Amino acid sequence: MMYLIRSTCGKHKAHIWTGTDSYCSMYTTGGLNKKKYKVAHDKKDYPLCTMCVNVFKRYEELSEDESEHIKSILTERKNMKIDFGETRLEKVDRLSKPHKWFAWYPVEISAHDYRWLEYVERTGRPSALCEGLWFWKYKAIPKTVGDVLKGVEND
């Protein structure tokens, strides 16, 4: 059996090595500093990592096919990527361009012109002083000729 052991002295634990990762997956997920660990055939006097032991015991209870399947999943884990959504710069770029927005509360288009419960065009810019605070400018969306004619017929 192979072990992953920290090369510097101190209170450290030996991790059971699969050939590409530790059984606890701390090596590929960044939990262990790769520069400070070396693979060895002997665990010396170090105690074993509890997570490695638990995963190793589960492998022993599984059939050969199940064990190989889980081992392949562990080796593919290093290719995982997480999408945290858009960055702050992408959000600023998106919201600083004019976009259609439903005015669910009254917004001021100009002096004495407020719009509410209809679509308006909104452009924003972030505050330089407060994170998450935006200043908005609103414009009325011009009505089409058909909308104007319908309004005249109803009056």
Residue-level pLDDT at 134: 92
Q: Who wins on pLDDT, 61 or 131?
A: 131
Q: Which of 1-5, 36-40, 78-82 has the lowest mean pLDDT?
A: 78-82
pTM score of the predicted model: 0.43
By C-alpha distance, which of 114, 92, 113 is closest to 105?
114
Q: Give the residue extent of every domain in the chain.
A: 2-79, 88-154
The mean pLDDT value for 151-155 works out to: 52
Rounded Cα distance, 99 and 112, in Å: 23
Contacts of 30 (CB under 8 A, 6+ apart): none
Higher pLDDT, 24 or 153: 24
Residue 28's contacts (CB-CB under 8 Å, 6 or more residues apart) are 20, 21, 77, 78
> Once rounded to an integer, what is the mean pLDDT over residues 70-97?
76
pLDDT at 155: 41
Mean pLDDT, the chain, integer? 80
The tens digit of pLDDT for each residue in 110-123 reads: 999 999 999 999 99
pLDDT tens for each residue of 5-58? 777 766 778 888 888 888 887 777 778 877 888 888 877 777 888 888 788 777
How many Cβ atoms are within 10 Å of 40's Cβ, its own excluded? 15
Higher pLDDT, 103 or 132: 103
User: What count of other Cβ atoms lies within 10 Å of the Cβ of residue 52?
Assistant: 22
